[in-house]
Amino acid sequence: MPYLNREGVRLYFEDSGGDGVPILLSHGFGASTAMWRGQAEAFKDHYRPIPWDMRGHGATQCPDELNRYSQAHTEEDMKALLDHLGAEKAVIAGHSLGGFMSLAFNVRYPERVKALVLQGCGPGYRKDAARVIWNEQAESRAKSLDEGGLDALGGNSEVTVSLQNTAAGLALAARGILSQVDARVIDSLPGIAVPTLIIIGDGDSDYLVGSDYMASHIPGAVSVVVADAGHGVNVDQPKAVNLALGNFLDAL
């Protein structure tokens, strides 16, 4: 199994090893690399899909210290993976939390981003009050994992196809990576200067408004709403998502 050891953290990733444009695929909270199998298989011959597991998720191993889990750590993990694989630029793609982190990565390292793919996600919040509500929900998720273990995870199709090692790691990720800290991402949208694809299922009610907001604020963004799909749109409707993604990638 391929790992990148970084400051005491063993980051798990998968690499098709192809010569095509790299596509760094970041999963949502409670999911893992497994959610991207339909895309990794479909695009491995012409591109270079690179799914990976964030701290607290899947096969990635990280110390049980909350200060090792943050959005800043995640951004640096993404950069370290690209450096390790010799990818100067990549399509930065993500679902839900991974989509938000893709936007955050573009804020910090725009020179490493060839294009963005944002699936089933929002851009965060500008107001403190909204962030407080979100963070209370993240803490509630963490507590349910502390008390109920992995049985308390729940989730949509992208979660059910994923495997997790420990509930403790997910709880730390909820308190660290999932929590909202500032408005840098939402404020960055009008300045995004790379091609951007936004994908969402028509039944993903929690993120439809955020998806529309991104589509209207990111210059030139392409927005695709997939019928008969929920939050895990690429798992629910892989053919439709692969068609939209393939058209987008081919046009780069």
Residue spans of the domains in the chain: they are: 3-250
HSE of 215, CA atoms in CB hemisphere, 13 A: 17
Give the pLDDT confidence of 139-184 residue by residue, as tens digits: 999 999 999 999 999 889 999 999 999 999 999 999 999 999 999 9
Structural Rg of the chain based on CA atoms = 17
- Does position 250 have pLDDT exceeding 90, yes or no? yes
Please write the tens of the pLDDT for every residue from 51-100.
999 999 999 999 999 999 999 999 999 999 999 999 999 999 999 999 99
Q: How far apart are CA 158 and CA 27, in angstroms?
A: 9
Closest CA to 49 of 18, 94, 89: 18
Dihedrals φ, ψ of 91, to 5°?
A: -75, 125
Fold of 3-250: Rossmann fold (3.40.50)
| Pick from 231, 205, 211, 208: nearest CA to 117 | 211
pLDDT category of residue 19 using cuts at 50, 70 and 90: confident
d(CA 69, CA 63): 9
pTM: 0.97
Q: How far apart (Å, rounded) are the C-alpha atoms in residues 82 and 85?
A: 5
What element of type H or E holds 199?
Answer: strand 196-201
Mean pLDDT over 194-211 rounds to 98
What is residue 18's predicted lDDT score, i.e. its pLDDT?
80
Chain-wide mean pLDDT for the chain? 97
The pair of structure tokens assigned to 81 is: 């993976």
**What pLDDT does residue 93 have?**
98
pLDDT > 80? residue 1: no
